[in-house]
Amino acid sequence: MMRTRPLKVALLGCGVVGSEVTRIMTTHADDLAQRIGAPVELAGVAVRRPSKVREGIDPSLVTTDATALVKRGDIDVVVEVIGGIEPARSLITTAFEHGASVVSANKALLAQDGAALHAAAEEHGRDLYYEAAVAGAIPLIRPLRESLAGDKVNRVLGIVNGTTNFILDKMDSTGAGYQEALDEATALGYAEADPTADVEGFDAAAKAAILAGIAFHTRVRLDDVYREGMAEVTAADFRSAKEMGCTIKLLAICERAADGESVTARVHPAMIPLTHPLASVRGAYNAVFVESDAAGQLMFYGPGAGGAPTASAVLGDLVAVCRNRLNGATGPGESSYAALPVSPMGEVVTRYHISLDVADKPGVLAQVATVFAEHGVSIDTVRQQGKDGEASLVVVTHRASDASLTGTVEALRKLDTVRGVASIMRVEGE
């Protein structure tokens, strides 16, 4: 039976995503009401520039006083799409205190203060949903939090930033350098005027923290995530990758240790075999590969950003939260019972591709191999090319810890026959 009194929604932010949320709420109002069991009504929109014309929004709903809006007491759900830490954090906690549940797309805030926000939601008996915070339209949070709740997730490996994937895809397919590919991404609108958050891995690291926390039932903060940007990736790295039957992606990797007693979360460029499903993810698309005990290998793929895709995820959460509201219930909250420690990057074990500039003379390979052996790093393959007294030596290792590899490289730099370390890149997705 349809309830006639509408559920009231307050929207914080009306940019690219917020405007799409209002459009969908308006154009699909009847369908949303049927799915929820009651109509939803936009009760207020908090913005910074009230004079801007916003198509389809009653100007009387627009306000610059976001705090007053979330304090009204008659608001059922607050949708937060303003981003950043403050005032978003204060507005969300105030919304809980005044009886509203919250739908958020704020990855940075959730990665930094997710535990406190979940605690506030639980204290006041309200929902906190955030499907849109990771991978845009791709259903990922809910499958990890609900569909796989009875399984044991061991690894989450993903491309969670469309800007970086577009840049690396261009470098791979055209042979372009990093700056050239970045300039094209900026011209096409895939990269911001200041692309730092994307290309330095901050955006992906926030998403990795959220994914790791949900997948492993452990609190993982942004500070726990190792982060390495992609500005140092070169066309030469892609040539080396192709020789190995690989490509290069900026990956978010969340893993449970083999003994199950700890987890790791990291973001960095890595070579990945062309046979791996993630290698075929092109352009600005996102994809996440999940490995679990019972379900095995699962892949989630789709547009990871943009107004309409992100709004789709927001509206999915809005429907779920409104249904809970009607039923007097709440959905899943934070699951951190495992409380596993997050291991430092030095303990992470993976394969490595190391390119060295060396003197082209007898005995160099033996010296290099000795250094690897002394640091307990086993070599898988070696390739050497030389001309006019100089040579390049490419070493691919078996699995080794980051700490042991770091020690190996430091020792290599001290050899008279090693002119320099051209590049070091991890190899993932075996």
- Supply the residues annotated as catalytic: 207
The pair of structure tokens assigned to 261 is: 């007693």
CA angle 18, 134, 229 (to 5 degrees): 115
The Cα 79–Cα 104 span in angstroms is 6
The Cα 259–Cα 253 span in angstroms is 18
Closest CA to 418 of 357, 344, 336, 352: 357
Helix (H, G, I), strand (E, B) or coil at 176: coil
The Cα 104–Cα 82 span in angstroms is 9
Q: Which long-range contacts (CB under 8 A, 24 or more apart) does 187-194 make?
A: 190/162, 190/163, 190/166, 190/284, 191/163, 191/166, 191/167, 192/163
How far is residue 11 CA from its own chain's centroid?
24
**What are the b/e assignments for 323-352, b being 16+ CB within 10 Å?**
bbbeeeebbeebbbeeebebbebeebbbbb
Please state whether the peptide bond connecting residue 344 to the residue before it is cis, i.e. omega within 30 degrees of 0: no
How far is residue 219 CA from its own chain's centroid?
16
Helix (H, G, I), strand (E, B) or coil at 43: strand
Looking up tokens 């995503």 gives 17
The pair of structure tokens assigned to 194 is: 């200041």
The beta-strand segments (E) located in 317-406 are 349-359, 379-387, 390-397, 400-401
